[in-house]
Amino acid sequence: MVIGRFAPSPTGPLHFGSLVAAVASYCDARSQGGQWLLRMEDVDTTRRVAGASDEIIAALHRYGFVWDGEMIYQSRRSDLYQQALDFLRDKNLAYPCTCSRKEIADSSTRQGIEGAIYPGTCRQHPAKAGIPAAWRLQTSDKDICFQDKVQGRQQHTMATDIGDFVIKRADGLFSYQLAVVVDDALQGVTHVVRGADLLHSTTRQIYLQQLLGYATPVYAHIPLVMNTAGQKLSKQNLAKALPADNVETVLIEALRFLQQPLPDNIHTRSLHAIWQWAYTHWQLPKNTIAHGKASHQW
């Protein structure tokens, strides 16, 4: 059984970039007769915007998405994430860290794929008492590689490309990396189709899956929608909310962005018929262009 999922963050309304990701994962799952789950990624409660998750649900309904089962909220699943952390801690794979950002920047001697690599200070010396501690995963020299269905072969060496990364923050919130791995595993997700901005997170997630004894899904990272300034469409750079009307036209634009070979008369079809066409003809986009061009007005 194929199980796909869409996991928006309720930090604002859905925009064209998030619609493209939703359409891709939906078509991927439905074209294989699979299920499609919805998960609200609100693990970082400090970024949550009031009313945004209801708005996202309403927009998904309007665009004709139908999901299987109950939608889950990460903010209600802390116990499950804590169990995973306890498991790692019991195996001496996680340790508390009280280093400040500045201390890490000053003592790091190595650059990884996302900036300064944590030098392992608190792995060698106990974390300072009386200060809230983050929890870091102890990484090894292991190479993690996977074959992305769109982006091709990817590989990172955990200790030297990533370093010991935070799985629970000092403010008590679990990291995205841990939460998403626990959720994908417990929901039985087999196919992850999402934006290429998460491509570099995937080796960390696979590494966690291996440590926690979980299966690794199939991954496909689709090209990102950029705005005219060449930035990824996002809530941070004020991407517009999806229009409430002309949903057929917007859906067709999303399919066009995803390089689907649309028939000439697609514009004459109903929303339902467009979806029917989409998952009967679905093929993953190619990575011929690293980032798609925003050819739409939204």
Min CB(97)–Zn ion separation in Å: 3
Nearer to Zn ion, 23 or 122 (CB): 122
Asked if residue 121 binds Zn ion (CB under 5 A), the reply is yes
Asked if residue 133 binds Zn ion (CB under 5 A), the reply is no
Which region, judged by CB under 5 A, interacts with Zn ion, from 6-14, 98-106, 174-182, 240-248?
98-106
Min CB(131)–Zn ion separation in Å: 10
Nearer to Zn ion, 21 or 127 (CB): 127
| Binding-site member from 122, 178, 179, 224 for Zn ion (CB under 5 A) | 122
Q: Annotated binding residues, as ranges?
A: 5-9, 41, 97, 99, 118, 122, 176, 194, 235
Nearer to Zn ion, 54 or 114 (CB): 114
Nearer to Zn ion, 76 or 128 (CB): 128
Mention every residue, 6+ apart, whose C-beta is less than 8 A from residue 207.
137, 139, 142, 144, 158
Phi, psi of 144 (to 5 degrees): -110, 125
3-state secondary structure of 31: helix
Asked if residue 99 binds Zn ion (CB under 5 A), the reply is yes
Assign 3-state DSSP to the chain and report helix, strand, coil percentages, each to 5: 40, 20, 40
Q: Annotated binding residues for L-glutamate, as ranges?
A: 5-9, 41, 176, 194
Task: Say if residues 135 and 97 touch (Cβ distance below 8 Å).
Answer: yes
How many Cβ atoms sit within 10 Å of the Cβ of residue 280?
Answer: 10
CA neighbor of 85 nearest in space, from 190, 177, 188? 177
Which region, judged by CB under 5 A, interacts with Zn ion, from 93-101, 202-210, 225-233, 242-250?
93-101
Min CB(89)–Zn ion separation in Å: 15
Which region, judged by CB under 5 A, interacts with Zn ion, from 2-10, 26-34, 121-129, 254-262?
121-129
DSSP state of 113: T
Mention every residue, 6+ apart, whose C-beta is less than 8 A from residue 86.
none
Asked if residue 93 binds Zn ion (CB under 5 A), the reply is no
Min CB(133)–Zn ion separation in Å: 8
Residue type at 67?
A: W
Asked if residue 97 binds Zn ion (CB under 5 A), the reply is yes
Nearer to Zn ion, 97 or 189 (CB): 97
CA neighbor of 135 nearest in space, from 177, 101, 179, 165? 165
Mention every residue, 6+ apart, whose C-beta is less than 8 A from residue 297.
none
Applying CB under 5 A, the residues found at the interface with Zn ion are 97, 99, 121-122
